[in-house]
Structure 1
Amino acid sequence: MAQPDVRELAAQVVHEVRRQGRSLSAALPGAERTIDAAMWPLLRELCYGSLRYAPRLDVWLGLLLTHPLRKRDAWVGDLILVALYELFFLHTPDYAVVSETVRVARGLKQPWAGKLVNAVLRNARRREAELLALAQTDEIARYAHPQWLLAQLREDWPDDWPQICAANNARAPMTLRVNTRRGTVASYLERLATAGVAARKVPTVPTAVMLDKAVDVADLPGFADGDVSVQDAAAQLAAELLDAAPGHRVLDACAAPGGKTAHILERAGHALELSAVEKDAQRMQRVAETLRRLNLDACLVTADLAQLDAWWNGQPFDRILLDAPCSATGVIRRHPDIKSLRRDADIASLSRQQQQLLDVAWRVLAPGGRLVYATCSILRAENALNIRRFLARQPDARESLIDARWGRAESHGRQILPGEDGMDGFYYACLSKQPA
């Protein structure tokens, strides 16, 4: 049985993200299973790249089409989008891109689509100079971000927003977390060097190692044995700020995919009682798999954090990590589909959800305990403004200042912007509960 064309699959994945609201991580694996593994790198490149630059490609497509496509024909636009990315970013020869994309369109039994694809792609090459000029003069095309997000970044980060956009459009490095109970960072760097993998320490994060070039996890020394995990350096700061010690009762709220859960346990050994709560059963499975590989144990609870009666036994926690659901605007470089999936209206809704979860987590925190609030967002409405509102309504809450060499101090908490020290965008605030 013939395999699907990789361009057809890429267009299908892009269509599912942009028109059906599926995440790239949900849509891509199914497409990969239909082709040989040798074709996966090209499929991933086409999907990730097309979504990374979708705002620019949409501007170009608007110029190249004489009439807007009907909603039911949006799949043709997504097919052309993938072809434009391949033409202008991967520099695949014109004849290959045009002929193969036209063949895909014709194969879908839409004769008009093949003609349109052929005309648009040939027109794109003829008008290349005009398209490239538009990528400098049109703001959306230049920065390859949706207008609402550009406006929000400019408001929150008036001096930094162009650099944020550039970092979002860059490829993220592969960063590792060394299990320091099984070896030092220095010794692991030596193991990587012996394996021919170039890497360096992240100065501001004691457990982090950044690779010069991404590799398969199977090529990482000791990965299967739990010596190391893949985790961005900014995410590794959560366990350090939480500072859970042997004997503590710990809650990891919204725990999936489990990297922070594992790191908390690695730091404190097996001598603490950790409950990991996650409402999505499939994502909880990832937590279980992570802990299994690292030979770590925790109480895994599949439940909605906000529904206390469904999971809490009434015993308060000494430490709580609330890694709250957020816009993920700090990790766009890893998840470019965020540009297509997020909307301006989402931010206020997410902020309300975050405040609700903060209040719920505060109820189960013991007096004298610590709560670390974290997001992978760079929008103040989800971060410092949330903490300001929380402190105003919780009289027994106090903020602990974070004295660190990473990120920058906010009115409340501390913010890392994408790309700073090679890290993802992350926000942290530390809160302590005053004794009655």
Structure 2
Amino acid sequence: MKPIPLPKQKNLRADCAWVIYQILEHGKSSRECLERVQRRHNVRDNAWLQEMSLGVMRRLPILQHWLRGLLDRPLKGNKKVVEHLILLGLYQLHYSRVSSHAAVGETVAAASYLGATSLKGLVNAVLRNFQRESLGDKPIENPIIESGLPKWLFKAIENAYGEDASRVREATNAMAPIWLRVNKQKTSLTAFTAALDNINVAYTTSEEHGDAVILQKREDITALPGFDDGHFAVQDGAAQLAAHYLQVKAGERILDCCAAPGGKTGHIAENTPDVGYLLALDADATRLKRVEENMTRLQHTVDIKQGDATAPDTWWDGELFDRILLDAPCSATGVIRRHPDIRWLRKSSDIDNLAALQRQILDTLWALLKPGGTMLYATCSILPQENTQQIQQFLAQTPDAQLSPVTKTETSERPGRQILPGEQQMDGFYYARLVKSSQ
């Protein structure tokens, strides 16, 4: 399908429909699309654009189910974007705080900005019929549609978690809280929370996370006290465990592989300011710019390199590492609540390909680890193929690799810690710590 350019003239709903269209028809990420349209709008409208577009991603199967019953036939070609505009209208009518009058009237008007003035009557009729027939109040008896997930992921969660699958799906669809990590090289948790108290920002703290603050509602992060001075970073609680589990000591050589956007790199630097050498490696040059920006704001000095983890000859200096953090490329199924477009960008076939890449990187980086050294394997996935099964296979086929449990309940048959979405308010994440035999 030929891409449709961003509407020449800005319009809130037309721009939002364009974002939805780019994600679903062209496989673009929400972050990439939203960044383009948000340059045209103010802060308040940008929040609306994010809430509405990601809301449609969360409820897409239900919205499409309603749409199929309201349209005589699918729209094609350049008119296809109007279907995405209607999906937005349906979401506003049933799930948002937008008034019915505005949801219908403004959505109809937006068709003109998408070059579809002739379809304004169709948009109006579909939305009015949805209201007239009270479709939103009628039960949907298909559990897959009701779950808001693609069929393959619904079944994957069912197979992996059995009786707990419904709870995992529910948490996957929930809104994720914003976690902050206090940079203890610049301030303290006590001082930072006092600064939040002074401006009446509501938050909680976490027993398991000594450097963390969890915001109770959405805030303008850049306006919080100490942002410009690097007093904190945005980082989910599950990701904050990486630096703790890696157990870096003074003077050691550390590799943070697949490091972008640099949250874990920064935390390692904060926990061990006298680290010997810390290398942040990533294959994506664009994402590495964010690592540089974050390290500059947090005032950390680390080595940042672009490189393919499977081809160390292009970036490695030949000296073995004491510890390696491998935040492996993965399905990101553990962070869908934070990035709901992921569920529509991933396919079932991706999982086997990702598992193969993970194993290739594991094998390659293991050779770069000193005898007696530690590797921490991490993913933001909740699928066993990428996590427990991956580590089981690696341990079985790597004689000098031993499991170093991060929890008391781990066994060689069930290695690592699988964090599920919503657990202690965290994202879904997996960790397994491995030690290389010194013999």
Looking at structure 1, the residues matched to 181 and 331 of structure 2 have their Cα atoms a distance apart, in angstroms, of: 24
1:380 aligns with 2:384: yes
Corresponding residue number in structure 2 for 1:402: 406
Corresponding residue number in structure 2 for 1:340: 344
Corresponding residue number in structure 2 for 1:47: 53
1:247 aligns with 2:251: yes
After superposition, the C-alpha distances for 1:18-76 in whole angstroms (9 at most, x for unaligned) are 11111001110110112333421221221111112112211221222222333653312
Looking at structure 2, the residues matched to 352 and 18 of structure 1 have their Cα atoms a distance apart, in angstroms, of: 26
After superposition, the C-alpha distances for 1:263-310 in whole angstroms (9 at most, x for unaligned) are 001100043201111111110000011110111111111111111110
1:226 aligns with 2:226: no
Q: Secondary structure at the match of 2:432?
A: strand
Looking at structure 2, the residues matched to 374 and 141 of structure 1 have their Cα atoms a distance apart, in angstroms, of: 31
Letter in 2 for 1:41: A
CA shift for structure 1 position 159: 2.2
Looking at structure 1, the residues matched to 347 and 38 of structure 2 have their Cα atoms a distance apart, in angstroms, of: 28
Looking at structure 2, the residues matched to 427 and 260 of structure 1 have their Cα atoms a distance apart, in angstroms, of: 14
1:24 aligns with 2:30: yes
The residue correspondences of 1:191-210 to structure 2 (distance < 5 A) are 191-210=195-214
1:272 aligns with 2:276: yes
- What TM-score, normalized by structure 2, do the two folds share? 0.94
CA shift for structure 1 position 410: 7.7
CA shift for structure 1 position 111: 4.8
Stretches of 4+ aligned residues off by more than 4 angstroms = 407-410
33-42 or 193-202, larger mean C-alpha shift:
33-42
After superposition, the C-alpha distances for 1:105-164 in whole angstroms (9 at most, x for unaligned) are 244443552232122111111222x433334x2213321111111100011011222122
Letter in 1 for 2:362: L
Q: 2:317 aligns with which of 307, 313, 319?
A: 313
1:133 aligns with 2:138: yes
Aligned residue pairs, count: 433
Q: 1:263 aligns with which of 255, 264, 267?
A: 267
Letter in 2 for 1:37: V
Letter in 1 for 2:41: I
Contact 1:134–1:142 under 8 Å retained in 2: no
Letter in 2 for 1:27: C
Q: Secondary structure at the match of 1:370?
A: strand
Contact 1:176–1:232 under 8 Å retained in 2: yes
CA shift for structure 1 position 336: 0.7
Q: 1:148 aligns with which of 149, 152, 166?
A: 152
Q: Secondary structure at the match of 2:254?
A: strand
Q: Secondary structure at the match of 1:239?
A: helix
The residue correspondences of 1:94-173 to structure 2 (distance < 5 A) are 94-128=100-134, 130-135=135-140, 137-173=141-177
Q: 1:181 aligns with which of 172, 178, 185?
A: 185
CA shift for structure 1 position 92: 2.3
Looking at structure 2, the residues matched to 409 and 119 of structure 1 have their Cα atoms a distance apart, in angstroms, of: 60
Corresponding residue number in structure 1 for 2:415: 412
Corresponding residue number in structure 2 for 1:83: 89
Letter in 2 for 1:4: K
Unaligned runs of 5+ in 1: none
Contact 2:79–2:116 under 8 Å retained in 1: no
Letter in 2 for 1:10: C
Contact 1:409–1:415 under 8 Å retained in 2: no
Looking at structure 2, the residues matched to 168 and 403 of structure 1 have their Cα atoms a distance apart, in angstroms, of: 24
Root-mean-square deviation over aligned CA pairs: 2.1
Contact 1:178–1:208 under 8 Å retained in 2: yes
Contact 2:14–2:113 under 8 Å retained in 1: no
Contact 2:254–2:277 under 8 Å retained in 1: yes
Letter in 1 for 2:420: L
Q: 1:431 aligns with which of 428, 431, 434?
A: 434
Identity of matched residues, %: 42
Looking at structure 2, the residues matched to 71 and 166 of structure 1 have their Cα atoms a distance apart, in angstroms, of: 35
416-425 or 189-198, larger mean C-alpha shift:
189-198
CA shift for structure 1 position 10: 0.3
Contact 1:279–1:303 under 8 Å retained in 2: yes
Contact 1:270–1:297 under 8 Å retained in 2: no
Corresponding residue number in structure 2 for 1:293: 297
Contact 1:402–1:413 under 8 Å retained in 2: yes
Looking at structure 2, the residues matched to 382 and 414 of structure 1 have their Cα atoms a distance apart, in angstroms, of: 13
Unaligned runs of 5+ in 2: 1-6
Looking at structure 1, the residues matched to 91 and 408 of structure 2 have their Cα atoms a distance apart, in angstroms, of: 40
Letter in 1 for 2:82: V
Contact 2:406–2:417 under 8 Å retained in 1: yes
Structure-2 change in CA distance of 1:16 and 1:408 (3 Å):
farther
Contact 1:49–1:85 under 8 Å retained in 2: yes
- What TM-score, normalized by structure 1, do the two folds share? 0.94
